[in-house]
Amino acid sequence: MATLHNSVGNDYAFLPGGAPFSSGVIALPGYEIVRVRFARPLPVARGFDAIAAHLRGQQRPLTALCAAELRSPLPFTFDGFSEFNAGYVGTLRRWGLVRQEGNPVSRSNVCPVHSPPDEPVFHAFCYTVPAGTAQASVLTTSDHSERAPGPRSFVLAGYAEWAEGTPFPDGIVARGDRSATGLATKAAFVLDTLQQRCTALGGQWEALTAVQVYTEHEIGPVVASEFAPRGLTRLGLHWHPCRPPVEELEFEIDARCVRRELVID
């Protein structure tokens, strides 16, 4: 099982992923994670500026950033995705987030089927706050010690149906199969992996507050077979008609346990 590493500010731990993003993050004792969605998505560079301004306003350092949700115009080629990631990670390096242990910031980056942006944009982000400062909501726990009345907050990065460590695109699960059986196979693979990552992070699967599904395909046929047995239908699934960020991928999911969410202009 992969080893967790603490973030620069020791306010969250992360499960290593690839160079562009971690596989997930979890708040460390004394902190919790807040999610913020932009009312109007911002181009990536402006989005970083807006995030920095928000963090300053909340008296949080840049290193409190722990997750990002992006939207892109179209799926990238494999090489094109690497090129985009280089610029994105460059900003995280300048912010002091990336160390030898890797990039701690969790991420999803998907491509809307309808009304796509003209360029990659920030849709939402997450950051940490001391647990005592986020008690305005009755749903927010006051403490994240072992005796806390509620679960530790965490974010699982977006994951699609490619078995990491295998050649791309040959390692895509049910590659090219868009039938109901193929989509069910893809969904099962992605959900199984997310459950494994949740366990590795130390998160509680049953405490999830949101599950976001990204695919251009109808998810109805797989809800009963794949989502319901994992206890996810109680949440009300968030289906975004989006494609994963790399060509040939069809099915991506991310999930989170976050008790406080904001929308900002």
What pLDDT, in 10s, does the model give residues 208-261?
999 999 999 999 999 999 999 999 999 999 999 999 999 999 999 999 999 999
Contact 172, 249 (CB under 8 A): yes
CA distance 59 to 4: 26
Determine contact, residues 256/209, Cβ cutoff 8 Å: yes
Q: How far is CA 72 from the centre of its chain?
A: 15
Residue pair 195/205 in contact by the 8 Å Cβ criterion: yes
Helix (H, G, I), strand (E, B) or coil at 4: coil
Q: Which helix (H) or strand (E) holds 211?
A: strand 210-214
In the predicted model, what is the mean pLDDT of the chain?
Answer: 93
Q: From the CA atom positions of the chain, what is the Rg in Å?
A: 17
CB 22 within 8 A of CB 102: yes
What pLDDT is stored for residue 2 in this prediction?
A: 74
Q: pTM for the whole thing?
A: 0.93
Contact 21/69 with Cβ under 8 angstroms? no
- Look up the CATH architecture of domain 5-264: 2-Layer Sandwich (3.30)
Looking from the CA of 215 toward its CB, the CA atoms found within 13 Å total 23
Model confidence at 149: pLDDT above 60: no
Is the pLDDT score of 17 beyond 50? Answer: yes
Domain residue extents for the chain: 5-264
Residue identified by tokens 């094109």 is 80
Asked if residue 136 has pLDDT above 50, the reply is: no
What lies within 8 Å, CB to CB, of 195 at 6+ separation is 205, 230
The three-point CA angle 228-233-235 to 5° equals 150
pLDDT at 135 over 80: no
Q: What is the average pLDDT across 190-195? A: 98
